[in-house]
Amino acid sequence: MFASRAANLTGSSPANTAQIFRHDAQTGQLQRVSANIGGSAGNVESYNAEISAEGRRVAFIAAAAGNITPQDIGRGERLYRFDADNDSYRALTYFNRPDTAYEITRLPRFSTDGESIGFVSSRSDLADDGNSNVLDVFVVYSYGDPIFADGFQQ
């Protein structure tokens, strides 16, 4: 698992935009993880990749509104989960309002069983503390529904 700004690793990438790649040591296959449903490169920076213990799932952060999943609107960093078993992507956090202030989300970490992902975020819509200047710790199920404004999965 690594991030690169190289445009020639698996086809074209947006110029100077970091993408997440997964290398299969057994097959030698290199796969772009920060792609959209159609397989095209994500059009925003992707970083902070974390691979689950069994190597099938990848959690990563993408900056601002992008084209990875259809609900990408608004501003701020989002947490995504990629599943290598079925090449699926899921936004585990996202903004559903275009006027959202830019807030950070970082450091995704899988639980030992790969079922949950912990992360830190300054997003005021996830914590009920009213302070977007402080990083809070969150946990989301890796196959569960996204976290919404009340901080609970729905």
Q: Is residue 128 part of a domain?
A: yes
Q: Is residue 65 part of a domain?
A: yes
Q: Is residue 124 part of a domain?
A: yes
Q: Is residue 121 part of a domain?
A: yes
Residue 83 buriedness (CB in 10 A; 0-12 / 13-18 / 19+): middle
Q: Is residue 13 part of a domain?
A: no
Report the pLDDT value the prediction gives residue 71, as an integer from 0 to 100: 61
Report the pLDDT value the prediction gives residue 52, as an integer from 0 to 100: 92
Structural domain harbouring 93: 45-141
Q: Which helix (H) or strand (E) holds 83?
A: strand 78-83
Q: Which residue has the tokens 């009340």?
A: 150
Tens place of pLDDT per residue across the chain (154 aa): 788 877 777 666 666 778 888 888 889 988 888 876 666 676 777 888 999 998 888 998 887 556 666 665 666 778 888 888 887 878 887 665 555 556 778 889 999 988 889 888 877 666 665 555 677 788 888 776 655 444 444 4
Tokens of 101: 């202030």
Q: Is residue 136 part of a domain?
A: yes
Q: Is residue 39 part of a domain?
A: no
Tokens of 58: 């990848």
Q: How many domains does one find in the chain?
A: 1
- pTM as predicted: 0.78
Q: Is residue 34 part of a domain?
A: no
Angstrom distance (rounded) from CA 130 to CA 91: 23
